[in-house]
């Protein structure tokens, strides 16, 4: 497809405005009277050595772990055993780890993640109660207590978050 210099400048200007290729395709048809397929437009831009502007990626979510307790697909043993969402929301609000010796929480990371999880493991809280935890593909933290209805203390939750972040950082997450 051959365009004159004026038409090339119009296409370049539309690209600079940040128009999507589909919008440029419509303008080429309506304003220049040329009916181009999407692929022909791509080839035209390549021939003109023009590249579409890349949109800025949306800001990434904060690195805090555990915004919700929603279990991922095929991950939770039983949703009734999952910690309530408000308890896990508290994890995101805790900025500093608990003082050393304040609670005895141990966190382990599975060598092979549970199905549907990016990473998973086990946690034992200071009162000896155990639970399984996981991070799903959406970055949501889920905790499934072995004892139905169990709710760990706020200090244990804070210690769990701090230790989990440390363990995941060691593994490069």
> Residue 126: what are its φ and ψ, rounded to 5°?
-60, -25
Same domain for 120 and 165?
yes
Per-residue pLDDT at 62: 55
Per-residue pLDDT at 91: 42
Q: Can you give the residue range of the structural domain that contains 31?
A: 5-47
Q: Is residue 54 part of a domain?
A: no
pLDDT tens sequence across 73-122: 444 444 444 554 444 444 433 334 444 445 589 999 999 988 889 999 99
pLDDT tens sequence across 82-92: 554 444 444 43
Same domain for 25 and 84?
no
pTM of the model: 0.43
Same domain for 33 and 93?
no
The pLDDT mean for the chain works out to 76
Q: Is residue 145 part of a domain?
A: yes
Q: What's the token pair of residue 173?
A: 């997450």
CA dihedral 61, 65, 67, 69 (to 10 degrees): 140
pLDDT band at 160 (very low <50, low <70, confident <90, very high): very high
Same domain for 43 and 84?
no
pLDDT tens sequence across 132-155: 999 988 888 889 998 988 989 899
138: region left, alpha or beta (phi > 0 left; psi from -120 to 50 alpha): alpha
Same domain for 84 and 35?
no
């Amino acid at each position: 497809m051959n365009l004159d210099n004026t038409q090339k400048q119009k296409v370049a200007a539309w690209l600079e405005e940040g128009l999507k290729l589909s919008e440029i395709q419509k303008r080429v048809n309506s304003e220049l009277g040329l009916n181009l397929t999407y692929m022909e437009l791509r080839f035209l831009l390549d021939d003109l050595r023009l590249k579409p502007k890349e949109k800025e990626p949306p800001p990434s979510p904060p690195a805090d772990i555990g915004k919700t307790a929603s279990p991922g697909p095929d991950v939770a043993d039983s949703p009734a055993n999952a910690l309530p969402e408000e308890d896990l929301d508290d994890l995101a609000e805790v900025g500093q780890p608990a003082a050393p010796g304040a609670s005895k929480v141990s966190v382990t990371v599975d060598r092979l993640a549970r199905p549907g999880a990016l990473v998973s493991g086990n946690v034992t809280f200071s009162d000896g109660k155990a639970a399984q935890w996981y991070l799903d593909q959406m970055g949501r933290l889920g905790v499934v207590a072995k004892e139905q209805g169990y709710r760990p203390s706020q200090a244990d939750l804070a210690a769990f978050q701090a230790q989990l972040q440390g363990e995941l950082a060691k593994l490069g997450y």
